[in-house]
Amino acid sequence: MKLKIQAKSVLVQPLSYVMLSIITAIAISPSALAVSGKSLLSEQPIQKQPQTIAQFSGTDSPERSQLLQQVNALYNQRDFKGAEENLRKFIKKFPEDAFGHFQLGNVLFRQNQPEAAINAYGEAIRLRPKYALAYNAIGVVFASQDRWSEAITEYRKALEINPNYGDALTNLGQALWQTNKRDEARTTLEKALNIFKAESRNEKVYQVEQILRQIKTLDDPSLS
C-alpha cells in the first residue's frame, strides 16, 4: 500500500509539469512558430516543434497577424479573459481558421475550463482532421482530470497522424503507467526519449530521463 501511494505522488508531478509545456502556444503566425520554435503563451521554455510545419499551411495576412499579436500581449499580462475575448473576435473574422480554435482551447484550459477547451480543440479538428496537436491537447485535458483511458485514446489518435510526435509519446507513456501498463509505458517513453535526442530537444530529453529514472526506482525501491 505504501508503494502505491509513493507511485502516485512521484508520477503525477512529472505528468503535470510536462503536459503544461506541450500545448503549442499562440504565435504571431503559424509559419513563424514552425521556424523559430518560440512562443509567448507558455511559462515553460518551448522547444522546437517540427510537427507544426505540417499542421499549418497557407499564407498569413496583416490583419490576422495583428489580431494574434494582441492576444499574445494580453496573455503575457496574464489577462487570460482578455486573450479569450480577442480570440473570439479573431474566430468571428476567421471562422474556418483551425489554428485560432486550437489556441482558444489553450486559453480556456489555462482558465480551468476543461470542457470548453475540449470543444474548442474539437472544432479545430473538425476544420483540420489531421490535427495531431489538437488530439494531443484533448488528451492533456483528460489527463488533468485523471481520465486516463480517454487521454490514452486521444494520444493514440495524435500518434496515428504523426508516429514521431515526441510530446504525445511522452504523455502516452505516463498515462499508460498510470493505468498499470508498465512495459508499454517504458517502451513508449524510451521511444520519446530517442526522438527528443534526435531533435536536440534537450529539456525534453531531461524530463523523460527523469520520468524513466523514477519508474526504475519504483520498480526497485532499493535504488532510492
Tell the CATH topology of 9-39+46-223.
1.25.40
Q: What are the pLDDT tens digits along the chain (224 aa)?
A: 444 434 443 344 344 334 433 344 333 333 322 222 222 233 222 222 323 323 343 446 888 888 888 888 888 888 999 999 999 999 999 999 999 999 999 999 999 999 999 999 999 999 999 999 999 999 999 999 999 999 999 999 999 999 999 999 999 999 999 999 999 999 999 999 999 999 999 999 999 999 999 888 887 666 55
Residue pair 192/166 in contact (Cβ under 8 Å)? The answer is: yes
* C-alpha pair distances (Å), 176 with each of 46, 105, 146, 184, 218: 25, 24, 12, 7, 15
User: How many secondary structure helices (H) and strands (E) does the chain include?
Assistant: 12, 0
pLDDT (tens digit, 9 = 90+) per residue, 151-206?
Answer: 999 999 999 999 999 999 999 999 999 999 999 999 999 999 999 999 999 999 99
Cell of 119: 470543444
Q: Is 10 exposed, middle or buried (0-12, 13-18, 19+ CB in 10 A)?
A: middle
Q: What are phi and psi of 221, to 5 degrees?
A: -55, -20
Closest CA to 112 of 144, 83, 136, 137: 144
